[in-house]
């Protein structure tokens, strides 16, 4: 048994085994070892299958966008992306031929091709090592959470982990193969804050970022895991309150 766990105590009359109660570990509600997702081969296989499907969806969407959005195929060459002199003189977006955005829904959604040298929303731009390390740590933590903090029944949390891993792998693939991340989804194009307010420093646009399906996976996955942890914390607090009431 792990040293960070408290053993469960038998309850009920004679002939009954120990009751499987939640185990408190590091301030979180951790399921008993025999029902953790990490101990279930089926849970691992489902996670792998869902992650593979999601990853394929991201990579296919990027391929489609760079084949069709500009009206002609746009090829991204890693050597050009990593040519510091050219990028310093003209910028990475100079590698994308001029093209008109594809209006999917006016003022709601456009397709437009952009190369992102950073992580999500351009964080860590120009620091490839930062993006790789950040992605690896995020995926590692998500898999650890799946294995240790979720039970076989926490399917929404498992989906969130699959979204995080697929999103991280999708953008990591781009960074390794192309030297940057291929983006094409632009929500709320041209929509601006009233009164000239510009909190993002980009001409007052409500959403100045162009992203991709992998970024969408990451946002949804993080949000879902936050809700999962919040609900776990509430369950922990309720269990602690019930235990205190029993001891009173």
DSSP string, 20-32: ---EEETTEEE--
Known catalytic residue at 83: no
Token match 């194009």: residue? 189
Lowest mean pLDDT among 17-26, 73-82, 86-95: 17-26
- Does position 215 have pLDDT exceeding 60, yes or no? yes
Helix/strand/coil percentages in the chain, nearest 5 = 55, 15, 30
Instruction: Give me the catalytic one of 58, 154, 174, 183.
Output: 183
CA angle 56, 105, 120 (to 5 degrees): 45
For the whole model, what pTM was predicted? Answer: 0.78
Q: Which residues are CB-contacts of 122 (< 8 A; sequence separation ≥ 6)?
A: 116, 209
Q: Long-range CB contacts (< 8 A, 24+ apart) of 15-24?
A: 22/235, 22/236, 22/239, 24/236
Give the pLDDT mean for 100-120: 89
- Does position 143 have pLDDT exceeding 80, yes or no? yes
- Give the three-state DSSP class for 63: helix
DSSP string, 174-203: HHHHHSSEEEEEEESTT-B-GGG--TTSST
111 or 38, which is more confident? 111
Q: How far is CA 49 from CA 52, 56, 157, 158, 185, in A?
A: 5, 11, 15, 12, 26
Return the structure tokens found at 190. Answer: 């041209």
Report the pLDDT value the prediction gives residue 194, as an integer from 0 to 100. 83
C-alpha–C-alpha distance, residues 209 and 187, integer Å: 8
Q: Where are the domains of the chain?
A: 30-247
Q: Mind listing the pLDDT tens digit for each residue in 155-182?
A: 999 999 999 999 999 999 999 999 899 9
Instruction: Give me the catalytic one of 58, 154, 174, 215.
Output: 215
Known catalytic residue at 183: yes
């Amino acid at each position: 048994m792990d040293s960070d766990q408290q053993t469960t105590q038998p309850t009920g009359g004679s002939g009954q085994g120990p009751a499987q109660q939640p185990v408190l570990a590091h301030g979180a509600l951790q399921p008993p070892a025999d029902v953790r997702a990490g101990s279930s081969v089926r849970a691992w296989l489902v996670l792998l299958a869902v992650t593979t499907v999601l990853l394929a969806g991201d990579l296919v969407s990027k391929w489609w966008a760079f084949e069709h959005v500009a009206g002609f195929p746009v090829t991204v060459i890693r050597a050009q992306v990593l040519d510091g002199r050219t990028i310093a003189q003209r910028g990475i977006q100079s590698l994308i031929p001029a093209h008109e955005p594809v209006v999917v829904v006016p003022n709601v959604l456009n397709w437009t091709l952009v190369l992102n040298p950073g992580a999500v929303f351009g964080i860590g731009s120009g620091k490839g090592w930062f993006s790789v390390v950040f992605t690896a740590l995020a995926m590692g933590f998500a898999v650890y959470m799946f294995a240790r903090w979720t039970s076989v029944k926490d399917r929404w949390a498992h989906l969130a982990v699959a979204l995080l891993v697929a999103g991280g792998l999708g953008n990591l693939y781009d960074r390794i193969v192309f030297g940057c991340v291929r983006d094409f989804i632009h929500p709320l194009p041209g929509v601006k804050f009233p009164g000239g307010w510009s909190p993002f420093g980009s001409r007052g646009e409500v959403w100045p970022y162009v992203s991709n399906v992998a970024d969408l996976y990451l946002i949804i996955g993080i949000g879902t895991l936050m809700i999962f942890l919040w609900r776990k914390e509430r369950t922990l607090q309720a269990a602690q309150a019930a235990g205190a009431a029993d001891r009173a």
